[in-house]
Amino acid sequence: MSRTLFYTFLAFYTSAILYLANTIPIGPHEATIYYTDRSILYFLTHILENYFDNSLGFRLPFVIFGFLNIPLFYIMSQLYLKKEEESYLATAIYLLLPGIITSTILVNISVLVITFVLFFIIFYERKNLLGEALSMFLLLVLHDASIIFFIALSIFFTIQAKRKRLIISITFTIISLYFNGLEIGGRPTGEFLQLFGLYMALFSPLVFLYFFYALYRIALRESKDILWYISFTAFLSSVLLSLRQQVDMTDFAPYVIVSVVLMLLTYYKSICVRLPQFQKPYRLGFNITLASLIFSSLIIIFHPLFFRVIDDKSKHFAYPFYEPYWQVLELNEIGKNCYTVKKKKIQYQLKYYGIEKCEESTVPKIHK
């Protein structure tokens, strides 16, 4: 990808992100965080609430982190890829991932975690031990599931015999296990297929298949760097946990999704070892995969248009975001300022737009 094409794409991408963050109504998960969370997410959703009268008031900090990740990912990709054009392409693919688009425009912890994972990888490749330790500390504070990251580092540093870094990573693993850790329990429920569905939504179907192939190929044939250990450990952990319980993708996605560089490395290695006449199937497969990714991204960007062509709007994947907002508009038209629903998340969505819960003594409860 040329520099001109990349910056043209970046201009369109930035405009699309700002438009979506500004126009999509508050979601159920976002509303719950806005009113009940007491972590860093609560602080970020309220820091700019007096400066905007729209959704940017609580989403802008996350959009800023998402934009910060663009140069960070580009810098990180340059440490692995040889040409500038390859880094531009890797960054564009990363930005087009459905999981990256949604994590940039919606309130969630993933976009912050990705920031400090990228910082860590850059510091590690530049042999900046202090920067690595600081990134690990911030991940420990921010992310309850950071133990996945620390375990991956401990395994890698053990194999590489890096004693100082091993001591630091083990220390953070122990601290994370004591204060945070993952919730593991319940009986085997077979959430395996659901997990793969979530990964397909995160990457887009064909990109996920190639991600799986790249991890597998590197595991069998090629040297394994720190990026592979982080992605593979997070992915394998999520698969194993899915055999017993439902997996929260925000625990694993930030560590898995940075593997875009590994996928491109695998593709370029497959191309370089073959004569031009034998490269055509690989280039065709790459173009089809890239086209499917662009298609998935465009569906997210232009999703409001689909409400106009779908008869049953409840079938739309973004319906939970819009339906309470439409209810608010209807209630405002008839002059009502209260409405009661059964689900607390929806009640919080209504509350954000000024619709409080009705007094049960005067208004019958509406089950929703």
Indicate if the pLDDT at residue 18 is higher than 50.
Answer: yes
Average pLDDT, integer, range 171-196? 72
More confident residue, 69 or 318: 69
- Residue 290: C-alpha distances to residues 208, 270, 303 (Å): 12, 17, 20
CA distance 39 to 116: 17
Check residue 181 and give its pLDDT.
Answer: 59
Taking only the tens place, the pLDDT of each residue in 221-250 is: 878 889 999 999 999 988 888 776 777 788
User: Mean pLDDT for the chain?
Assistant: 85
Check residue 246 and give its pLDDT.
Answer: 75
Q: What ranges do the domains of the chain cover?
A: 3-306, 311-368
The band of 252, judged by pLDDT with boundaries at 50, 70 and 90, is confident
Check residue 134 and give its pLDDT.
Answer: 94
Taking only the tens place, the pLDDT of each residue in 91-123 is: 999 999 999 999 999 998 999 999 999 999 999
Check residue 229 and give its pLDDT.
Answer: 92
Average pLDDT, integer, range 192-209? 84
- The pTM of the full predicted model, rounded to 2 decimals, is 0.88
Check residue 157 and give its pLDDT.
Answer: 92
Kindly report the backbone phi and psi dihedral angles of residue 315, in degrees, each rounded to the nearest multiple of 5, phi listed first.
-80, -15
CA distance 150 to 141: 13
The band of 271, judged by pLDDT with boundaries at 50, 70 and 90, is confident
Average pLDDT, integer, range 48-70? 86
Check residue 191 and give its pLDDT.
Answer: 63
Indicate if the pLDDT at residue 184 is higher than 70.
Answer: no
CA distance 106 to 101: 9
Check residue 124 and give its pLDDT.
Answer: 93
The half-sphere exposure of 167 on its side-chain side, counting CA atoms within 13 A, is 3
What proportion of the chain, given as a percentage, has pLDDT over 90?
Answer: 31
